[in-house]
């Protein structure tokens, strides 16, 4: 049983998980099959939807079918040749308080029916439970996990070690740490269903990342009960590899149409904009007038297609290195998702540490959310920890960002520096040029071709947070270096006054002179002449 990682972006990965019924590629959505009610049969899932794996409930199967399934095996019983994962019945414990089975019984039953990925009988924490109860569920789940090695008799089944603790993050951390010490090839995060139903995605971010930070990173993580395509990108970006969805069928029963950006009631739809077979063959009015069973089936088909399509888009985004851009787009589908993305600020250092360093593509920045991105955090860390400016550079010349990259090759930078050179009589050896640019802050000229400092696009004008962040970076840079003077070329077109006031305050604190020269990018002949005059007036020669 192995999990091989092929591609990564943020904490997401495209992986290959080996099971006895074949290899599955993650991130993967496993539709939930209720053996007693099926809107779409496993056979159809396999043949029409190209579904590679599904999940069903071993407790329900045991209760209703007992030995019948044990004799046939789960694959024959479901008429499905792909990978079958079974849940233990933990959800039933959560709903009804208890189940009429023991941990040992449910382990042996899953072995007997020949499931590929099996789950121990964990004790779900649930939502809004006391710390005492949460602690109890963590303890019970760990107990069941430790018992597994004594009970199990087969070695070809991949066992899942669930993490509990609910919204009590220190318990989630402890549960993950202890569970991670046991030899489980897969882990799962339990009880987030209620969190997801109530759109508390920021809390979900806390729960997932607390679990991730305390589990062995190389093991796949399953997110139980995460069935809506509009939050898949978030969960995948945080390192969830497997999902199960009962939502496609539940939503269909409630006449709800799922999309990658939210849910719409069927009665509110005038047009289907989805390219799936269920939507191209019918209009919303056609579906509304269908008999109940057919309507539910058609909607379930669409919901399932919508879910699979989104997983494909996410995988493509990982391959292209554009998962953040995809995530930001999805986050604008619902305020609760945007709130969750903002919560990532808290974990930006962890994200940076575990995100790939190079990518095949440039980065797109749409606003201040981009400051959370690993590339921005990485540049900040490198500049403060690993970079020192050239020793002979006594004068810091701060030039504004230009639309052209690398900055030092832009017409604007070349013209300004030519002007400076003339004014100081060619004595440029003690000048060090840096660009102040959003979202990275300070970009020393000698580094401006290093990825991704030239390989990005940003929307302007900058928002306030972005301007403030850049000002903050300028301040930190001046405070931690030894320049004797600072010359700031202030592009009044793009940058607000806070860039100047921050520079002024910082230089005062360091007790070094600051010269501010105004200009406007793009430079035209008139502004260049004006700049030359103001430089004349300042007598830059005295600076060197």
Q: Which of 126, 46, 123 is nearest to 89 (CA)?
A: 123
Supply the minimum distance, in Å, between the C-beta of residue 263 and Zn ion. 13
Supply the minimum distance, in Å, between the C-beta of residue 274 and Zn ion. 3
Binding piece for Zn ion, criterion CB under 5 A, among 69-77, 278-286, 374-382, 465-473? 278-286
Q: What angle do CA 154, 155, 157 make, to 5 degrees?
A: 85
Supply the minimum distance, in Å, between the C-beta of residue 278 and Zn ion. 5
122: annotated active-site residue = no
Q: Does 432 bind Zn ion (CB under 5 A)?
A: no
Distance CA 356, CA 375 (A): 9
* C-beta closer to Zn ion: residue 283 or 524: 283
Q: Does 337 bind Zn ion (CB under 5 A)?
A: no
* C-beta closer to Zn ion: residue 16 or 312: 312
- Burial pattern 347-372, b for ≥16 Cβ within 10 A else e, equals bbebbbeebeeebeeebebeebbbbb
Q: Which residues contact 100 (CB under 8 A, 6 or more apart)?
A: 63
Q: Does 269 bind Zn ion (CB under 5 A)?
A: no
Distance CA 297, CA 39 (A): 5
Q: Which 14-43 residues touch Zn ion, going by CB under 5 A? A: none
Q: Does 274 bind Zn ion (CB under 5 A)?
A: yes
Among 173, 276, 338, 516, binds Zn ion (CB under 5 A): 276
* C-beta closer to Zn ion: residue 62 or 228: 228
Q: Which of 495, 491, 489 is nearest to 468 (CA)?
A: 495
Among 28, 189, 196, 279, binds Zn ion (CB under 5 A): 279
* C-beta closer to Zn ion: residue 274 or 290: 274
Binding piece for Zn ion, criterion CB under 5 A, among 161-169, 200-208, 271-279, 292-300? 271-279
Under DSSP, the state recorded for 523 is P
Binding piece for Zn ion, criterion CB under 5 A, among 39-47, 90-98, 206-214, 267-275? 267-275
The Cβ of residue 65 has, within 10 Å, a number of other Cβ atoms equal to: 16
* C-beta closer to Zn ion: residue 71 or 267: 267
Distance CA 79, CA 81 (A): 7
Supply the minimum distance, in Å, between the C-beta of residue 256 and Zn ion. 13
Supply the minimum distance, in Å, between the C-beta of residue 154 and Zn ion. 40
Q: Does 395 bind Zn ion (CB under 5 A)?
A: no
Supply the minimum distance, in Å, between the C-beta of residue 250 and Zn ion. 17
Supply the minimum distance, in Å, between the C-beta of residue 45 and Zn ion. 16
Sheet strand arrangement including 431-437: 441-444, 431-437, 395-400, 485-491, 514-519
Q: Does 264 bind Zn ion (CB under 5 A)?
A: no
Binding piece for Zn ion, criterion CB under 5 A, among 29-37, 168-176, 301-309, 456-464? 301-309
**Tokens 């070690």, residue?**
161
Q: Does 450 bind Zn ion (CB under 5 A)?
A: no
CB 423 within 8 A of CB 540: yes
Supply the minimum distance, in Å, between the C-beta of residue 228 and Zn ion. 15
Catalytic residue among 87, 206, 244, 448: 87
Reduced 3-state DSSP string for 338-383:
HHHHHHHHHHHHHHHHHCCCCCCCCEEECCHHHHHCHHHHHHHHHH
Q: Does 315 bind Zn ion (CB under 5 A)?
A: no
**Tokens 């005295």, residue?**
542
Distance CA 161, CA 179 (A): 6
Q: Does 302 bind Zn ion (CB under 5 A)?
A: yes
Q: Does 514 bind Zn ion (CB under 5 A)?
A: no
* C-beta closer to Zn ion: residue 213 or 274: 274
Q: Does 311 bind Zn ion (CB under 5 A)?
A: no
Supply the minimum distance, in Å, between the C-beta of residue 405 and Zn ion. 41
* C-beta closer to Zn ion: residue 305 or 347: 305
Kindly give the pairing relationship between strand 431-437 and strand 395-400.
parallel
Query: In Å, what is the CA distance from 325 to each residue of 8, 129, 364?
Result: 15, 36, 7
Q: Does 209 bind Zn ion (CB under 5 A)?
A: no
Q: Does 380 bind Zn ion (CB under 5 A)?
A: no
Give me the helices (H) in 25-89, please: 42-49, 58-65, 67-72, 74-78
Distance CA 361, CA 322 (A): 8
* C-beta closer to Zn ion: residue 97 or 275: 275
* C-beta closer to Zn ion: residue 310 or 375: 310
- Contacts with Zn ion: how many residues (CB under 5 A)? 4
SS3 state at 165:
coil
Q: Which residues bind to Zn ion, rule: CB under 5 A? A: 274, 276, 279, 302
Question: Which residues form the catalytic set?
Answer: 87
């Amino acid at each position: 049983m192995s999990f091989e990682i092929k591609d990564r972006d943020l904490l997401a990965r495209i992986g290959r998980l080996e099971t006895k019924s074949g290899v599955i590629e993650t991130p993967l959505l496993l539709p939930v099959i209720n053996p007693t009610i099926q809107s779409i049969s496993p056979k159809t899932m396999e043949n029409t939807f190209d579904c590679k794996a599904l999940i069903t409930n071993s407790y329900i199967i045991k209760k209703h079918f007992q030995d019948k399934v044990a004799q046939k095996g789960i694959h024959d019983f479901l008429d499905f040749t792909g990978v079958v994962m079974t849940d233990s019945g933990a959800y039933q414990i959560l709903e009804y308080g208890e189940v009429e089975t023991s941990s040992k019984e449910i382990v042996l039953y899953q072995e007997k029916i020949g499931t590929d990925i099996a789950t121990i009988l964990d004790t779900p924490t649930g939502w809004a439970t006391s710390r005492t109860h949460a602690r109890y569920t963590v303890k019970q789940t760990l107990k069941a996990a430790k018992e597994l090695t004594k009970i199990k008799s087969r070695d070809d089944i991949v066992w899942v070690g669930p993490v509990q603790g609910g919204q009590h993050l220190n318990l989630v951390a402890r549960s993950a740490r202890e569970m991670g010490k046991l030899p489980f090839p897969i882990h799962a995060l339990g009880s987030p269903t209620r969190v997801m139903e109530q759109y508390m995605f920021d809390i979900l971010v806390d729960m997932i990342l607390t679990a991730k930070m305390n589990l062995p990173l190389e093991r796949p993580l399953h997110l139980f009960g995460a069935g809506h395509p509009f939050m898949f990108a978030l969960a995948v970006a945080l390192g969830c590899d497997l999902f199960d969805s009962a939502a496609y069928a539940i939503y269909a029963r409630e006449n709800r149409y799922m999309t990658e950006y939210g849910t719409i009631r069927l009665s509110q739809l005038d047009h289907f904009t989805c390219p799936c077979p269920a939507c191209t063959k019918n209009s919303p009015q056609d579906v509304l007038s269908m008999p109940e069973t057919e309507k539910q089936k058609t909607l379930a088909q669409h919901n399932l297609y919508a879910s699979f399509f989104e997983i494909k888009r996410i995988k493509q985004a990982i391959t292209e290195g554009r998962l953040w851009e995809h995530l930001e787009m999805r986050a604008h589908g619902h305020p609760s998702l945007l709130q969750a993305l903002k919560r990532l600020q808290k974990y930006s250092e962890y994200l940076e540490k575990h995100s790939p360093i190079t990518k095949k593509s440039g980065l797109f920045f749409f606003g201040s959310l981009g400051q959370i991105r690993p590339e921005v955090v990485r540049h900040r860390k490198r500049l403060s920890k690993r970079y020192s400016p050239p020793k002979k550079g006594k004068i810091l010349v701060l030039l504004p960002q230009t639309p052209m990259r690398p900055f030092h090759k832009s017409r604007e930078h070349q013209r300004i520096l030519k002007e400076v050179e003339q004014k100081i009589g060619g004595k440029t050896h003690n000048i060090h040029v840096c660009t102040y640019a959003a979202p990275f802050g300070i970009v020393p000229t000698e580094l401006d071709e290093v990825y991704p400092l030239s390989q990005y696009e940003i929307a302007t004008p900058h928002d306030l947070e972005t301007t403030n962040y850049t000002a903050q970076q300028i301040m930190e840079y001046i405070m931690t270096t030894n320049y004797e003077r600072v010359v700031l070329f202030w592009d009044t077109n793009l940058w607000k006054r806070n860039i100047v006031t921050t520079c002024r305050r910082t230089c005062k604190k360091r007790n070094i002179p600051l010269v501010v020269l105004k200009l406007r990018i793009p430079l035209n002949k008139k502004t260049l002449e004006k700049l030359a005059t103001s430089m004349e007036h300042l007598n830059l020669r005295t600076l060197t």
